Amino acid sequence: MSALRVTRRLGLAGLLPLLLAAGPLAAAGTPVPGSNPLFRDRFTADPAPLVVGDRLYLYVGHDEARGEEMFNMRQWLVYSTSDMKQWTEHGPVMKATDFRWAKADAWASQVIEKDGRYWFYTAVEHDDTHPGKAIGVAVADSPTGPFVDAKGSALITNQMTPKGEHSWEDIDPTVFTDDDGSTWIAWGNRHCYIARLKPNMIELDGEITEITPPHFEEGPWLHKRGDTYYLTYASLDRSDHTDERISYATAPSIQGPWTYRGELTGSGKNSFTIHPGIAEFKGQWYIFLHNAALSIGDQEGALGRRAVTVEYLQYNEDGTLKPVVQTDAGVSVPPPG
Ligand code: FUB
């Protein structure tokens, strides 16, 4: 059916929701605010939201891979919004090599606020004194930085979790403060670990416990709603698909026991990896993800050229999560149902 006939049949009012749902380039080549991907002038990955007052800050890794390069991630960027539609770019907050003991790889991170300071936990490649990936912690007095190494050495090294058979086991930290004020850090690739942090935020307080849920691959994210704790993560069911999806587990306490709840999303378009970041903002829950559907000039989306997206996150009455589909429209349209 021609565009003219569609317009006649639906009228302009009927056409508007279709145009919005069409996503990024609906209005004369201009992205619809809130549509996906969120940022189109550079490649971004591993989104980690943080709500501070009436703004939501979004920390991302900057994907700079060229050609067939796998990953080239040197720095983290931060954006913020007050309405989930218009985003302010604050630029780089830190480079991997700002940790003097690290030599590369600004991989996935999360920032949380505690006692008025902002604590930035992230994965990097350690120098040869502790080979493999490691988790560092930096701190700032503002959510936009500047962040500086808070410890002067890694918080977690590859050698602290000897079970893993590969050098990138200790990545993708997620941090969560429970109602009693205790802060917990979970992380991992193939194996998922959790430990309590000391009140100083730069040391582990006690044992590291393994909590690996079914099909766990990487990218854990901890959050709580009501009395339920959620562990959402990138999963890989090697028996039936080849790209990561998002799965989740729930628990009655941060210390478990965790119950596997199944897959939450499919794979990100064109992307082996996918990575969740979850936040409640102004009464609405959101899940940030990434895919590799964005092209910039002659650089097409790829493993190391990803693009951050956002969708509504909705709960069933029993606290389980409604399936999430990555859309072009994102949050430019109202939440379903
Ligand atoms: O961005 C580098 C790595 O890819 C992250 O640490 C993983 O979660 C995956 O997204």
pLDDT digits (tens, 9 = 90+) for 116-129: 999 999 999 999 99
Ligand 1 close to Cβ of residue 273 (< 6 A): yes
Tell me what pLDDT residue 83 has.
98
What is the residue with the minimal CA distance to atom 8 of ligand 1? 219
Q: 216-244: buried (b, 16+ CB within 10 Å) or exposed (e) per residue? A: bbbbbbbbbeeeebbbbbbbbeeeeeebb
Tell me what pLDDT residue 231 has.
99
Ligand 1 close to Cβ of residue 71 (< 6 A): yes
Tell me what pLDDT residue 133 has.
98
The upper half-sphere exposure of residue 192, i.e. CA atoms within 13 Å in the direction of its Cβ, equals 23
Q: Angle at Cα 12 formed by Cα 10 and Cα 15, nearest 5°? A: 60
Ligand 1 close to Cβ of residue 46 (< 6 A): yes
Most informative mutation of 60, 171, 192 for ligand 1 (most atoms within 8 A of CB)? 171
What is the residue with the minimal CA distance to atom 3 of ligand 1? 107
Tell me what pLDDT residue 322 has.
98
Give long-range contacts, CB 8 A cutoff, 24+ apart: 56-60.
56/80, 56/81, 56/82, 56/84, 56/279, 56/281, 57/111, 57/143, 57/144, 58/87, 58/277, 58/288, 58/308, 59/93, 59/109, 59/110, 59/111, 59/120, 60/308
Confirm if 41 and 60 have CB atoms less than 8 A apart: no
Ligand 1 close to Cβ of residue 45 (< 6 A): yes
Q: What is the CATH number of domain 42-312?
A: 2.115.10.20
* DSSP three-state, residue 109: strand
Q: 94-133: buried (b, 16+ CB within 10 Å) or exposed (e) per residue? A: bbbbbbebbebbbbbbbbbebeeebbbbbbbbbbeebebb
Most informative mutation of 72, 216, 218 for ligand 1 (most atoms within 8 A of CB)? 218
What is the residue with the minimal CA distance to atom 2 of ligand 1? 107
Ligand 1 close to Cβ of residue 108 (< 6 A): yes
pTM of the model: 0.92
Ligand 1 close to Cβ of residue 184 (< 6 A): no
Q: What ligand 1 atom has the least distance to the C-alpha of 218? A: 8
Ligand 1 close to Cβ of residue 327 (< 6 A): no
Helix or strand holding residue 133 (H, E): strand 133-140
Most informative mutation of 107, 109, 121, 174 for ligand 1 (most atoms within 8 A of CB)? 107
What is the residue with the minimal CA distance to atom 9 of ligand 1? 273
Q: 170-195: buried (b, 16+ CB within 10 Å) or exposed (e) per residue? A: bbbbbbbbeeeeebbbbbbbebbbbb
Ligand 1 close to Cβ of residue 126 (< 6 A): no
Ligand 1 close to Cβ of residue 218 (< 6 A): yes
Q: Which residues pair with 62 in a beta bridge?
A: 44
Most informative mutation of 189, 270, 273 for ligand 1 (most atoms within 8 A of CB)? 273
Of the candidates 45, 33, 35, 117, which has an alpha carbon nearest to the alpha carbon of residue 74? 45
Most informative mutation of 275, 289, 309 for ligand 1 (most atoms within 8 A of CB)? 275
Confirm if 105 and 126 have CB atoms less than 8 A apart: no
CA distance 48 to 279: 9
Q: What is the mean pLDDT of each run of 10 residues along the chain (337 residues)?
A: 35 41 54 97 98 98 96 98 98 98 98 97 98 98 97 97 89 98 98 98 97 98 98 92 94 98 97 98 98 97 98 98 98 93
Confirm if 289 and 266 have CB atoms less than 8 A apart: no
Tell me what pLDDT residue 28 has.
57
User: 105 alpha carbon to ligand 1 midpoint, in Å?
Assistant: 10
